[in-house]
Amino acid sequence: MRILSATLLASQKKAHRLPYVEAKVYDYEAGIKRLTWTRVYNGTEPDNHHGIAFDGDGDMHRIRADGDNLYYQKQECPFGVPASFPLIFPVSLVNGPALDQWTQIATDCDGPCAIASQEAKVYIFYKTAGNVLWKYYSYDYGQTWDDAQLVAYADVLSLAACWWGISNIVVCFALKSNELNGIVLDTSDQATSQHIKEFHGAATYIFLDTYGIGATFNSFWPCCEIVLAGKESDTPYNHYHLFRTWFSDSYNFGALESFLAYPEGEDFRLEYPDCHLPAGAQSYEKNRIVAVEKFTGTTAYTRPLTCHMVKGTYWSDTTFTEPKPFLDIAPTYGLRLQSTSDYWWLSKPDGVWRAPCYADPPLDLTKDIVSLTQHQDSPLNIRGDRGVIIELNNSKGQYASPGQGSLASLRFRSEIILKLGYKTAAGDEAVEAGTYWIDSWEYSSKHNMSRFILTCLDGWGLMDRWSARYQMRWNKDEVNPKNVWQILYQLLARVGVKLTNTPAKPQSSAINNFYPDFAVNPGTAGDTAIKRLLTFVPDKLVFMGQEAFTKNPLADEESCYSYGIDHVILNGKYKDAVTVSRARAIGRDSGDNRILEEALDWNLLALAIDQLEQEYDPNLQTHIRAQERADAILRTRAQEANTASITVPTNVGQELLDVVEVTAERCGISEEKYRVLAIQTDYDRRQGIYTQRLELCAP
């Protein structure tokens, strides 16, 4: 149960209560600001390897390869963007950027190139026609230049570079077909060291080829976070992957892990990724990734994808949202991603885009809320009503133009943070009651009345709208084994939800120690995949704002609240029913021997009630896992047989899976424990309604 202040707790138990409901809209994706890109340069340069960086003055430096030539440009920032047609008055008269002006700096470039900058220093790296790596560098913001060989490292296919914070160190990452070299350059004395990670021989992943690399610096660890595209040798077929790894402060590479993959033969390929984390990132900013998805079948296309890390997670967690298309362009050599204090930037040879960094203030809906209905549901409940519907007063037409002006943040899939509370002796008090995402809106209008109605999804709704783009499989082999909790962690990340166990909840042994061979096939909805995964364990899943947690509903859990004495029950229904008396779980061990374990309800069996439910799962390879499954089946069925439904004045602290005590003397119920499996909160300002209907089951 949520923690409530003493005044709020007292107010919700009073006979006469004054509700307080709050809702604010943020243009976020699971707590991370959504970016709105504007193209500020549209040129005619041919596509090829390229890069972008910003110096300490905030000025832009770009490079591009074209045949044997390497070109460079510097653009002072900030700059205005000339007006475009149709004109919107008043028209701003500004000089546009000179992003079509280039200086040839090399005639021996063989494609791969990269650029990085720190204060006045600007370093350019490229592969020469002589098959070595070269450096071209300036110490005065690009006014004068020197050049020299970086290292004699041959057959490089792509390059990336990033500065090590505010130090003298810049790192050039050189990617070959089956090898990655982290070249550490000390700009104070030009000393270099090379640190190689192999993707051949005895490596965990065996590469057949690679298709691009990106890197960014994270000062928290510190480390360079790296994304790369590669083709892996695998059975029964090879895969095209996007991988993540990192380069530590001891100059070692971290474990390689895939987060997007296509099997060879389906005509998809992933190429030219990049990643970027702003220095001094705000709470609504995380590391973003861009990459190119290429389809070579009928109606071939080249399309940029983007995703970001889930809020509150780390690069090593491999928790990235589902990569999705975001610009209607075809960048053969990908996009490079950077940021300044004001903007995110994207670049390719013939184009530059920017998106504002700062998040707008939230849109406060509170004063216009006429009514709302909030449905919270757990997998124990089969009703399936989830989300929130908010009815707003639109009598002045204030919601006539969503997405514009003061309503700029009111867009599809914008986030609504809902708070429930009461007017108390301390003022208006409320606690956060969930995060929801706008799925639709509707206008209702008649004489003397106009309403704007928002229908919003919860976490389950987001997972229902998400489906697998390709087969996702865990524990096919011994590479990167994942238990049930870790698989769930990565599935939820696809919609930006972080799975957490803070504060700690009871967890079963199975959720942390069972490593199933689990596959999610293309087209499978996320909620379907999660429900199937949860059948392996007794633990249940609850969404909590932009996060979720699992909880093993132990029968001996203590009650956190009481209804029927201090907190009145307005009406209630209580039911007991016959249920499964015997649960059987069947599996096979590593020697293909049959495993069978049972859980039995001897009280029902003593009444000659023998209802059997059995389940076969080849993942059950030990008697321990089989017994856990049988116990979980029997316990779930027992919970479903002892149920109640009560309507109460809204308890703003109530959460799913809480254990509560209920007293209804006329029904023979005295301080009996139940578990909360669904909550429906109804608020109607016109009718003075502020109640909850709690669906309960045995604890």
Among 462, 482, 504, the domain boundary falls at 462
The answer on 431 and 331 residing in a single domain is no
| Residue-level pLDDT at 490 | 95
The answer on 265 and 408 residing in a single domain is no
Q: In the predicted model, what is the mean pLDDT of the chain?
A: 93
Q: What pairs with residue 63 in β-bridges?
A: 51, 72
| Residue-level pLDDT at 378 | 73
| Residue-level pLDDT at 14 | 94
Q: Give per-residue pLDDT as tens, 449-472.
A: 999 999 999 999 999 999 999 889
**The amino acid at 459:** G
| Residue 162 placed within a domain | yes
pLDDT at 92 over 60: no
The answer on 400 and 303 residing in a single domain is no
Compute CA distances 145 → 53, 105, 136, 419, 665, whole Å: 16, 10, 7, 58, 88
Encode burial over 201-225: b for 16+ CB neighbours within 10 A, e otherwise: eeeebbbbbbbbbbbbbbeeeebbb
**The amino acid at 84:** S
**pLDDT category, 379, cuts 50, 70, 90?**
low
**pLDDT category, 627, cuts 50, 70, 90?**
very high
Name the pTM for this structure.
Answer: 0.90
| Residue 667 placed within a domain | no
| Residue 90 placed within a domain | no
Question: How far apart (Å, rounded) are the C-alpha atoms in residues 186 and 205?
Answer: 31
Q: Domain tally for the chain?
A: 2
| Residue-level pLDDT at 558 | 96
- The mean per-residue pLDDT over the stretch 86-107 comes to 70
Q: What CATH number does residue 122 fall under?
A: 2.120.10.70
Among 438, 462, 486, the domain boundary falls at 462
| Residue-level pLDDT at 385 | 63
| Residue 168 placed within a domain | yes
Question: How far apart (Å, rounded) are the C-alpha atoms in residues 63 and 342?
Answer: 22
What strand order describes the sheet that includes 288-295? 268-276, 288-295, 301-308, 324-325
Compute CA distances 216 → 55, 227, 233, 321, 323, whole Å: 15, 9, 27, 18, 18
| Residue-level pLDDT at 479 | 76
pLDDT at 187 over 90: yes
The answer on 129 and 21 residing in a single domain is no
Considering the chain, what percentage of its residues have pLDDT values greater than 70? 97
| Residue-level pLDDT at 86 | 55
The answer on 56 and 16 residing in a single domain is no
| Residue 178 placed within a domain | yes
Q: How is residue 139 written in tokens?
A: 């110490």
pLDDT at 527 over 80: yes
Helix (H) or strand (E) holding 672: strand 669-684
Parent domain of 250: 49-80+98-356
Among 428, 444, 462, the domain boundary falls at 462
| Residue 623 placed within a domain | no
N residues, the chain = 699
| Residue 678 placed within a domain | no
Q: How is residue 584 written in tokens?
A: 């059987």
| Residue 596 placed within a domain | no
The answer on 432 and 407 residing in a single domain is yes
The answer on 343 and 423 residing in a single domain is no
pLDDT at 93 over 70: no
State how beta strands 547-551 and 498-500 pair. parallel
- The mean per-residue pLDDT over the stretch 191-197 comes to 97
**pLDDT category, 282, cuts 50, 70, 90?**
very high
Question: How far apart (Å, rounded) are the C-alpha atoms in residues 253 and 47?
Answer: 31
The answer on 203 and 325 residing in a single domain is yes
pLDDT at 442 over 60: yes
**pLDDT category, 96, cuts 50, 70, 90?**
low
Can you list the alpha helix ranges (DSSP code H) found in 499-584?
509-513, 526-534
Q: Give per-residue pLDDT as tens, 603-616.
A: 989 999 999 999 99
The answer on 203 and 123 residing in a single domain is yes
What DSSP assignment string belongs to 606-654? Answer: TTT---EEEEE-TT--SHHHHHHHHHHHHHHHHHHHEEEEEEEE--TT-
The answer on 62 and 26 residing in a single domain is no
The answer on 15 and 58 residing in a single domain is no
Q: What CATH number does residue 420 fall under?
A: 2.40.10
The answer on 318 and 233 residing in a single domain is yes
The candidate with the shortest Cα–Cα distance to 645, out of 530, 587, 550, 563, is: 563
